[in-house]
A and B are shown apart, each in its own frame.
Chain A
Amino acid sequence: MTDNLVPIVSILSAALAVGFGAIGPALGEGRAVAAAMDAIARQPEAAGTLSRTLFVGLAMIETMAIYTLVIALLVLFANPFV
């Protein structure tokens, strides 16, 4: 059991990291999309600029989740304690 402790903790921590790390970007993306929809509803003629900016912003927000994914992968595949 103790031999397997580090992999078990690693997997758990990876899952936790991705799970919790996804919450923030998810909320942020939701807010961003809601705001963009609101803006497009107000100004349909600016929809092109808004959606382009929205995609870039979403990608930036998504990057936060990607960071946690990278951390999780590091923990899983490149764990320095294994």
Chain B
Amino acid sequence: MTIDWWTLGLQTVNLLILIWILARYLFRPVARIIAERQAATHAALDEARAAREEAEAARATAKTETAEIARIRAELLSRAQEDAKHERAHLLETARAEAEKARAETRAELARLREAQKEMVAEEAGALAADIAGRLVGRLPDTVKIDGFMDGLVGAVSELPEATRTGIGAAGPVSLRAARALTGDERTVLETRLADLLGRTVTLEIEEAPELIAGLELDARHAIVRNHFRADLDRIKSELANHD
């Protein structure tokens, strides 16, 4: 077995040359272009990723904006509801107040009406009482209308204060209202009794006043001495009216 050493050496050199050529002209450019494409792909991927991130960021912004809008809306809504509630409460309050006022007014009106009615009733009762009294007195003898009250009148005059009493009949005749025209006897009796009481002569100026029903009314200068049914009835009526 022989080995051709020249051929071996030449083939080795050939192989080295081929390795250099292929490395220079084949593998290095191909590897470079592959790396370039990879870089380009990576760049594109990065770009796409960046774009996606941007889009996501925009979406997030939009979402936050939407949330903000929703929040504002909710706030507005709640505020409007609050306002409406306030308004309603206010309206209710006003209505209630108005109703209250109207009721109070009505009540006042009612009270007034009732008062008026009562007054009217009292009036009617007074009138009825006067009527009744008048009729009752009418059944009695006429003297009763005066005689029974003469003592009362004199008593009332005697109870007047001194200053007032001295003023009676000092300047002219004393006006006296009576339920009926006094007879001459009665007039003198009254004049004498008053003169006894006052210590001086008194002339009476009689005025007939049937509305007194029965009794006398002496008009002193500063005081009126009432002693008749009408006054009594009036007093009773006013007491009744004031009672409730």
Name A residues whose Cβ lies closer than 8 Å to a Cβ of B: 74, 78, 80
A78: B residues at CB distance < 8 A: 1-2
B2: A residues at CB distance < 8 A: 78
In the complex, 4 of the A-B residue pairs with CB atoms within 8 angstroms, ordered by the A residue number, are A74-B1, A78-B1, A78-B2, A80-B1
47-101 of chain B: CB within 8 A of chain A:
none
Q: How many B residues touch the partner, as a band? A: under 10
B1: A residues at CB distance < 8 A: 74, 78, 80
Q: Mark B1-35, 1 if CB is under 8 A from A, else 0.
A: 11000000000000000000000000000000000
Kindly state the separation between the CA atoms of A80 and B2 in the bound complex, as whole angstroms. 10
Per DSSP, chain B at the interface is loop
A80: B residues at CB distance < 8 A: 1
Name B residues whose Cβ lies closer than 8 Å to a Cβ of A: 1-2
**In the complex, how many angstroms separate the beta carbon of A67 from the nearest chain B beta carbon?**
15
Kindly state the separation between the CA atoms of A15 and B2 in the bound complex, as whole angstroms. 22
**In the complex, how many angstroms separate the beta carbon of A54 from the nearest chain B beta carbon?**
30
Kindly state the separation between the CA atoms of A80 and B1 in the bound complex, as whole angstroms. 7
**In the complex, how many angstroms separate the beta carbon of B119 from the nearest chain A beta carbon?**
119
Residue in A closest to B2 when the chains form the complex, CB atoms: A78
Kindly state the separation between the CA atoms of A74 and B1 in the bound complex, as whole angstroms. 7
Kindly state the separation between the CA atoms of A56 and B107 in the bound complex, as whole angstroms. 120
Residue in B closest to A77 when the chains form the complex, CB atoms: B1
**In the complex, how many angstroms separate the beta carbon of A14 from the nearest chain B beta carbon?**
14
Kindly state the separation between the CA atoms of A74 and B2 in the bound complex, as whole angstroms. 10
**In the complex, how many angstroms separate the beta carbon of B15 from the nearest chain A beta carbon?**
22
Residue in B closest to A79 when the chains form the complex, CB atoms: B1
Kindly state the separation between the CA atoms of A63 and B231 in the bound complex, as whole angstroms. 163
**In the complex, how many angstroms separate the beta carbon of B64 from the nearest chain A beta carbon?**
50
4 closest residue pairs by CB, A with B: A78-B1, A74-B1, A78-B2, A80-B1
Kindly state the separation between the CA atoms of A42 and B2 in the bound complex, as whole angstroms. 51
Kindly state the separation between the CA atoms of A74 and B3 in the bound complex, as whole angstroms. 13
Residue in B closest to A78 when the chains form the complex, CB atoms: B1
**In the complex, how many angstroms separate the beta carbon of B3 from the nearest chain A beta carbon?**
10
Residue in B closest to A74 when the chains form the complex, CB atoms: B1
**In the complex, how many angstroms separate the beta carbon of A80 from the nearest chain B beta carbon?**
7
**In the complex, how many angstroms separate the beta carbon of A73 from the nearest chain B beta carbon?**
9
